[in-house]
Amino acid sequence: MSTVRIATYNIHECTGRDRRIDPQRTATVLVELDADVIALQELRSPHGALQTLEFLAERTGMFPVEGPTMLKGTATYGNAMLSRTKPLEVRGIDLSVPRREPRGALDVRLPVAGRRLRVVATHLGLRPAERRRQVRRLLDHIVPCRDETLLLTGDLNEWFLWGRPLRWLHAEFVETPSPATFPSGCPIFALDRLWVRPRATLSSLTVHRSPTARIASDHLPLVATLRW
């Protein structure tokens, strides 16, 4: 039996609940996850000798995949991914809505455990109408492929359990557990989500609650175990 661990984590620009920017602390949490693939949101990477994503890749020994959606001053900002195996294919999906913060998704195909895994990782907008447009665009983009496992994950910013975006996603995939990940000090909201197809591949879905994770960001990491 093959086992793979997938995580999604909004790292909040490596800024902790103590308001301290500390990429090393973020890297410590990533190492704790012991995941084969990690989707990252709110990665801010200033220009310099060693950018944030490169630093995290170096500390974890993983391959970095960039997916910036905007500039913040002189720094790139947006999505990223870390993988133990070199990606086969990387695509970006533009989910931007006019007059709102630019948003996007990473669509990455990876060789994992002798299989082909497709991970679509995103960070959706703050307004309900914005998220509805973004989820419809995502679903239009995702075309099933028989020879690969498909995983959709990220920070959906969806506060409403009865909202249309979640209903659409549950209909397209199969509903999965939704443990609370935000705020990290005392989680109440399930903002970070994960779906997989085929659903039987998902063995477990848990929140990583280490002492370091509780302070390193305002979100806790969500970790899935897939088994074939």
Determine the average pLDDT of the residues in 211-221.
Answer: 98
Q: pTM of whole model > 0.85?
A: yes
- The residues, ordered by sequence, that sit 6+ positions from 226 with a Cβ below 8 Å of its Cβ are 3, 4, 5, 6, 149, 151, 196, 201, 202, 203
Model pLDDT, residue 48: 56
Model pLDDT, residue 114: 85
Q: What is the pLDDT of residues 149-171, one digit of tens each?
A: 999 999 999 988 778 999 999 99
- The residues, ordered by sequence, that sit 6+ positions from 98 with a Cβ below 8 Å of its Cβ are none
Q: What is the pLDDT of residues 106-163, one digit of tens each?
A: 999 999 888 899 999 999 999 999 999 999 999 999 876 777 899 999 999 998 877 8
Q: Where are the alpha helices (DSSP H) in 34-149?
A: 52-60, 128-141
Q: What is the pLDDT of residues 192-210, one digit of tens each?
A: 999 999 999 999 999 999 9
Helix (H, G, I), strand (E, B) or coil at 186: coil
Q: What is the pLDDT of residues 49-97, one digit of tens each?
A: 569 999 999 999 999 999 999 988 888 899 999 999 999 999 999 999 9
- The residues, ordered by sequence, that sit 6+ positions from 200 with a Cβ below 8 Å of its Cβ are none
Q: What is the pLDDT of residues 6-52, one digit of tens each?
A: 999 999 999 999 999 999 999 999 999 999 999 999 999 886 556 99
Model pLDDT, residue 159: 83
- What are the chain's domains? 3-227 (3.60.10.10)
CA-based nearest residue to 97, from 122, 74, 129? 129
Model pLDDT, residue 47: 64
Q: Rounded to whole angstroms, what are the CA distances from 5 to 40, 77, 113, 166, 174?
A: 15, 25, 11, 23, 19
What tokens were used for 90? Answer: 């990387």
